[in-house]
């Protein structure tokens, strides 16, 4: 596979080795208008993104519940264990297309090493099936 520091860029290899893993726990997306990075540490966010409308945090559902925050949906996280480059072309399109075939919505966050796919909690097992099918056909 590719460089251990920058990750692989060859699509077929990425698909063959993506090794989706369903992470334990449930997650929710919250948005806080006017918040800054580092705010709400008690929620123990696993991801944050600053938008014009506010700071989006992805947090464990139990922490949002403990703090009485409201949210729209509950998600499970599937992490692709392959080390993909941030410059790889086609991986997101390939798994998004596959999940679309199954009627599954996906919210994707790319970390430095891996892609993390958030799917509705009721779709998690079917999403794993879809991703394994994609990986096996590459």
**78 and 117 in contact (C-beta within 8 Å)?**
yes
pLDDT digits (tens, 9 = 90+) for 20-29: 999 999 999 9
For residue range 55-69, list pLDDT tens digits in order.
Answer: 999 999 999 999 999
* Residue 55 is assigned to a structural domain of this protein: yes
Q: Is residue 3 domain-resident?
A: no
Total domains in the chain come to 1
**pLDDT tens, position by position, 4-21:** 555 556 778 888 888 999
Distance CA 134, CA 30 (A): 31
37 occurs within a structural domain: yes
Across residues 27-37, what is the average pLDDT?
A: 97
Q: 5 in a domain, yes or no?
A: no
CATH for 81: 3.30.2130.10
| Domain range enclosing 61 | 11-137
Question: Which residues, 6 or more positions from 68, have their beta carbon under 8 angstroms from its beta carbon?
Answer: none
How much is the average pLDDT of 33-40? 96
Give yes or no for a contact between 80 and 119, defined as CB atoms under 8 angstroms apart: no
Residue 86: inside a domain? yes
Q: Assess contact for 37 and 56: CB atoms under 8 A.
A: no
pTM of the full structure:
0.88
Question: If you search the block for the tokens 């403990």, which residue do you land on?
Answer: 66
Check residue 79 and give its pLDDT.
Answer: 96
């Amino acid at each position: 596979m590719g460089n251990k520091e920058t990750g692989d860029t060859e699509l077929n290899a990425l698909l063959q080795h993506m090794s989706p893993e369903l992470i334990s726990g449930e997650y929710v997306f919250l948005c806080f208008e006017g918040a800054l990075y580092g705010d709400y540490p008690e929620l123990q966010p696993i991801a944050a993104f600053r938008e014009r409308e506010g700071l989006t945090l992805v947090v464990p559902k139990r922490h949002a519940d403990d703090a009485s925050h409201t949210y729209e949906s509950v998600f499970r996280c599937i992490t692709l264990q392959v080390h993909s480059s941030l410059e790889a072309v086609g991986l997101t399109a390939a798994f998004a297309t596959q999940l679309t075939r199954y009627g599954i919505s996906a919210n994707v966050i790319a970390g430095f090493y891996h892609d993390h796919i958030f799917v509705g909690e009721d779709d998690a097992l079917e999403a794993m099936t879809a991703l394994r099918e994609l990986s096996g056909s590459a």
